Amino acid sequence: MRQAGIYYIRNLINGKFYLGRAVDINARWRQHRGALRKGTHDNKHLQRSFQKYGEDSFRLEIRVRMDPVEALLINIEQQLLDRWVGQQQCYNINSNASTPDARVRRMGTLAGMVSQKANRTGMYDPEARARAHAVQRAKGTGFYDPNTGAKGRASQKANGTGFFNADVLARTHATQKANGTGLWNAEAQARIRATQKANGTGVYDPEAQARSRATQKANGTGIFSADAHARSYATQKANGIGIFAPGMRAAGGRAAMHLQWHVNRGIQKPGCSLCFPPPAPNDGAGNNAGDMVE
């Protein structure tokens, strides 16, 4: 049979107690015991005593039996809280009968976090965070744990959250680019290129290179852009290399370079006699040399 009223959870060793109300005291007692056994009870004082003295040292006492009328229960509990909270023999922390301990704890934690964030203290202190990261990195724990870190990153990547959130990535990349850090750090870029070159990956992957050239060729960008072509010619001419190297103007050399630089790239270079051959001379009879004449 359900019994409503006011109850005490009494410590038989030192006489301290935790008081509360319930419309079903026995059910509420089972909830308390379950949380205490798991070590997750909302009241930290009661939880510590339970762990110190053991479950057999605590007993349920029904102090007031009454009808299950919530307003009356709250009223009586509030009177008792006003009398006992703050006293040495009382485990209760929260002095408001209308607000559960868990909510008070969450509100206090949230307020503390907001204050820390605003003042850059506690977990938001840059130096404290740097120290925490250094310890985790050295021990391979937390974010640097190969197992949990990999799982977390895989989950974030799959869901587009955390570090892989599009907005976060954009802000991170913008900051790194502005400061020359991360991916835009010269040493980091050199290491990445060296690794890619050694393994034939990234920009050194033959398939990736072929796709890149195909895209550039289709869009007239990269090495297939008119500006890049002009710069290449200017550099070759200034240094006497490429098609301007000694001997490349000889028979066959120009044709080979034309094939490499123009035909294969699909670019017609103004001024190239092979891209734009001059018209054949007229024979005086209205025919150009090479025309079919019957």
Q: Can you name the residues that pair with 17 across neighbouring β-strands? A: 10, 90
Q: How far is CA 250 from CA 42, 82, 237, 246, 271, in A?
A: 91, 106, 16, 9, 18
Quick: pLDDT tens for 43-54: 999 999 999 999
Sequence-separated (6 or more) residues with CB below 8 Å from residue 166: 160
Mean pLDDT of the chain: 78
Question: Which class for 180: exposed (0-12), middle (13-18), buried (19 or more C-beta within 10 A)?
Answer: exposed
Question: What is the residue whose two structure tokens read 């699909």?
Answer: 266
Question: Which class for 45: exposed (0-12), middle (13-18), buried (19 or more C-beta within 10 A)?
Answer: middle
Quick: pLDDT tens for 233-245: 788 788 877 667 6
Domain map (residue ranges) of the chain: 4-95, 126-184, 185-219, 226-263
- Cβ-contact 78, 13 below 8 angstroms: no
The pLDDT of residue 213 is 83
Mean pLDDT of 238-258: 65
The domain covering 4-95 belongs, at the CATH homologous superfamily level, to: GIY-YIG endonuclease (3.40.1440.10)
Quick: pLDDT tens for 124-181: 677 777 777 777 778 777 666 666 666 667 777 787 777 677 887 788 888 888 888 8
Quick: pLDDT tens for 54-67: 999 999 999 999 98
- The yes-or-no verdict on residue 251 having pLDDT over 60 is no
Q: How confident is the model at residue 252 (pLDDT cuts 50, 70, 90)?
A: low
DSSP 280: P
User: DSSP states of 150-180 as a string?
Assistant: HHHHHHHHHHT-GGG-HHHHHHHHHHHHHHT
Q: How far is CA 45 from CA 50, 63, 81, 100, 145, in A?
A: 9, 21, 16, 15, 33
Quick: pLDDT tens for 82-114: 999 999 999 998 888 876 554 444 444 455 556
Number of other residues whose CB lies within 10 A of the CB of residue 184: 14
**Alpha helices (H) in 85-165, listed in sequence order:** 101-119, 126-139, 146-159
Q: Which is higher by pLDDT, 289 or 187?
A: 187
In this structure, are strands 17-22 and 58-66 parallel, antiparallel, or unpaired? unpaired
Lowest mean pLDDT among 37-41, 44-48, 197-201, 255-259: 255-259
DSSP H or E run through 292: none
Dihedral sign for Cα 192, 195, 196, 201, please.
Answer: negative
**Helix, strand, coil percentages in the chain from 3-state DSSP, rounded to 5:** 60, 10, 30
d(C-alpha 18, C-alpha 84), whole Å? 10
